[in-house]
Chains A and B, each alone.
Chain A
Amino acid sequence: GAGVSQSPRYKVAKRGQDVALRCDPISGHVSLFWYQQALGQGPEFLTYFQNEAQLDKSGLPSDRFFAERPEGSVSTLKIQRTQQEDSAVYLCASSLDSNYGYTFGSGTRLTVV
């Protein structure tokens, strides 16, 4: 596609519910990143994929967070047993190469109630 597509745009989850956030990167982009942006803050790194390989997951806040990119294209960020502190905008970005600038999607705003 022309840009990075994320779905859903908005998600309201009850505390304890599992959620799955989808990212469809620009075709041919090798690098894919997930970031978390809390209200009034800059994006914080969560995880990095090069093709299907997850090379860095050091930013994932806990073992409730899991990301995958099985065929080196679409990626899914899963959050199990959501908690209120998980409320944030989750941004996906892709890049031709890890040294290039990122193209971000519009994000998924997750609200845990």
Chain B
Amino acid sequence: DSGVVQSPRHIIKEKGGRSVLTCIPISGHSNVVWYQQTLGKELKFLIQHYEKVERDKGFLPSRFSVQQFDDYHSEMNMSALELEDSAMYFCASSLVNSDYTFGSGTRLLVI
């Protein structure tokens, strides 16, 4: 078990472009959440899925969509990228009411 795996690790996109971030949770973890962190500041909650159903949405822009698949992996589709979207994107997984394990994050730079 290699923990929560995020890909890609780093990505550079042009303003207005699109990107897809992937999160593979720990085996058996059906609760997956996404966070955005800008410049080492607090982590902003974006969205949570549990058992492939969206449970809660936070600061997720309407230009972004997130889907959880049958094997519980999650994909964040980002479109019409803006400079302000440059950040670290973390996903984390857990069992219900258990502690979260975070992935190593994806660093997105929009130029």
Are both chains from one complex? no
Q: Interface on B for A, CB 8 Å cutoff?
A: none
